Each structure stands twice: as structure tokens, then as C-alpha cells.
Amino acid sequence: MKDIRNQDCKTVGMVLVRALRRMDVSVDAITRFSLNQFSGRYMLHLLARFTSYVNVKMGNPSQFDVYVDRERKGNTFDIEHILPDDYSSYQDEFVDADDFQASRQMIGNLIILTRDKNRSYQAMHYQEKVGKYVGDNILAQALNTVAYQNNPKFLPLAQQYGFAPIPKFTKESIAARAQIYLQMAVDIWDPDSIKEIAGGWEEETEKEFFKSEKAREFTVEYYERSWPDALKYGFLSSNIGGTGKFLRNVQDGDVVYCHIAGAGFVGIGECTAAAVPMKQFTVMVDGTEVPITDVPWLEPSLKAKLDIDKEIFIRVDWKSFVQDQVDGYWEKGMISVPMVAYQLTDQSTHKKVREHFGYKN
């Protein structure tokens, strides 16, 4: 808090974006976030944020302050378990009672309701209470088919994030709802959006302000792009659409583990320059600095597929790698995530990759 106290909007924005990029966990960890005696307050805030986000997107008041206010008079909000605590009625969907109880606490099985309704619904079977959710907030309503009828403000969001009515709630439904929360989180805590709201800043200012104090480790997904050229010219790139914008989180000094879906991990390198647009990225050819758009590529067909207006590049000093992606490294139990650039909370995957490639930081 001391970094933003009495600061102007631009500085506050830069501090918040820097904090996002320096977090030790990536946004995908939300899908594994569960409710326990220590996480209740944080879970309530997350669920409230998702609910208020959809409210605002639909043109309605946020209500976030109401959702999280535990001191206000009247009906405060509580966390609602979509699946009731009734293993015998749902045992066919789960391995055992422990699996059922663990799954019930996952974020995908949780919404917020007013305290009176939460207490009233808690013993009801899902098929019964899903009809009552129609009168509650939008994330509760979205479980019922009624939310998709004559609701033009919600339907575009349903399509964007994957909301769909769920007549029968299962373990797979919990995972599906968690993915919806993840996609919303990617947009809510989007550094580019925060930068825009704060009024923006120059690239050089950002590089200096965001310079990493300690090297972080990122997996970078590099699918349908030229690995031979990434090696030859020392770079990784992505399209800023979707999660590709998170390549901007990789800063000078960070370590990147390049992963190609279907091949495995193909190299480890150190970022030597943060992301810039393709039009501004240059490489050295015979001692001359040349725009990456002008140099000959080993795989020109893949270069031709890149959108020059949307592709961004980071500079990478490759330390250990395979020349051919077919020799990529992967083994059972390792983790990859359907995002372009992310940090892993479980360090075992990166440890295995370092050992396999003989890389010592």
C-alpha cells in the first residue's frame, strides 16, 4: 500500500501492473483455488469480483461493495455451495466421499448468495434449487435456462466466457465453471486494461520501472510458430489477442522455458529485452541491425502467418535447447497450461526441464 499512497493515477497503475507481473503465481491458479478455514475471506472477494464484473458488463451497478461488506445491517452475502453436502445423492459422479468433499470446496462449485437464501437452499438438491437461482445474482442465474431467454445484455457474455445452463451439476461442471472464472480473471486483471485506465506510459518508462529485481521463471507456449527461427535470431513471440498479451509479463532477466504443444519443452533461455511490437523488433545480421520483418526466415511460411500489427517479440539468449522440436522433452506428470506465458506454482516441471537440459541458473 505504501507504494501507491498519495500517488497520481499513472503511478498507481504502474505499481499495480508491476505487482501483477511479479506475482509468484499465475492467474490459472484460480481454477485450483478452494475454500477452507483460511481462504474464506479471499474466496468471497473473488466471487464478488466476478459477479460485479458481469454486472458492469451488462450495464448494471457493480454491487461489489455490497457483496463484500460483512458489517452492513441486514442481509449480508455468503458463499453458496452449488452441490449440497449430500454425498449419497451424488456418489456416482465422484471417486469416493473424500473426492466429493474436496470437489465441493473448489471455486467452480461456489457462488455468492444473500445469507438468508444460502441457509434456505443449503439442504436442497441441485435440481430443486437451480430453479430458485433465477431470482438471484447473474452468476447464480446463469445455471438456469431462464438466464438465456430474452436477456440480450447477458447473451454476448455467455458466448464470450462459455456460460451455459447446467440441468445436472457434476464434477465436470465444477471444472467447467472454474474455467469460466479463469477466463474472466484474465480480462479483469489484464495489465493492458489497467495501463489504459491509468492513462498509459512510454515503453522506456515501463522497462525501467518494471525491471525485475529477481529473475522469475515462465513457461512460454510457442505453437504454430518457427522454432528454428526463434533459435537463429534469439526470440519468442505471440499474438496479443487472448492470452498472448501475457508475454509482456516476461521482463529482462527472467528465465523462459519454451514449450510446444505435442512436442514438449524445446529450450531454456534468458530474456534480454521485454516485449515490443514486431515492427520494432530487430536482430543482428553480419554485424548489422536489421528489422525481423526484413530478414530471411528458415520457415518463411510460418513468418507469413504472423499478423505484423498484433505480434509482439521478446529477445531471448538461448542457453540450452534442441535444434528440432521433435526432440522436445515431456514426461507424464509434467504441467502445461493453455496460456501463452505463465508462472507455475508447482516447481517440479521446471526442475525436471532444467535437469534434462543440464541448465543451471
Tens digit of pLDDT for each residue in 252-295?
Answer: 889 999 999 999 999 999 999 989 999 999 999 999 999 999 99
Evaluate whether residue 201 is within a structural domain.
no
Evaluate whether residue 199 is within a structural domain.
no
Q: What is the pLDDT at residue 44?
A: 96
Q: Of 137, 154, 188, which one is at a domain's C-terminal end?
A: 188
- Residues 105 and 148 placed together within one structural domain of the fold: yes
Q: What is the pLDDT at residue 221?
A: 96
- Residues 264 and 168 placed together within one structural domain of the fold: no
Q: What is the pLDDT at residue 25?
A: 66
Evaluate whether residue 197 is within a structural domain.
no
Q: What is the pLDDT at residue 211?
A: 66
Q: Of 188, 221, 237, which one is at a domain's C-terminal end?
A: 188
The CA-atom distances, in angstroms, between 233 and each of 123, 128, 359 are: 61, 60, 20
Evaluate whether residue 8 is within a structural domain.
no
Q: Of 152, 173, 188, which one is at a domain's C-terminal end?
A: 188
- Residues 181 and 269 placed together within one structural domain of the fold: no
- Residues 171 and 122 placed together within one structural domain of the fold: yes
- Residues 171 and 249 placed together within one structural domain of the fold: no
Domain count, the chain: 2
- Residues 36 and 172 placed together within one structural domain of the fold: yes
Tens digit of pLDDT for each residue in 29-62?
Answer: 899 999 999 999 999 999 999 999 999 999 999 9
0.95 surpassed by pTM: no
CATH of the domain at 248: 2.30.130.30
Structural Rg of the chain based on CA atoms: 23
User: Which stretches of the chain score pLDDT less than 50?
Assistant: none
Q: What is the pLDDT at residue 1?
A: 60
Evaluate whether residue 4 is within a structural domain.
no
- Residues 146 and 266 placed together within one structural domain of the fold: no
- Residues 88 and 179 placed together within one structural domain of the fold: yes
Domain that holds residue 225: 211-357
Evaluate whether residue 198 is within a structural domain.
no
Evaluate whether residue 2 is within a structural domain.
no
- Residues 181 and 230 placed together within one structural domain of the fold: no
Q: What is the pLDDT at residue 184?
A: 95
Can you tell me the distance from the alpha carbon of 126 to that of 49, in angstroms, rounded to the nearest whole number?
A: 24
- Residues 161 and 265 placed together within one structural domain of the fold: no
Can you tell me the distance from the alpha carbon of 289 to that of 233, in angstroms, rounded to the nearest whole number?
A: 11
- Residues 173 and 221 placed together within one structural domain of the fold: no
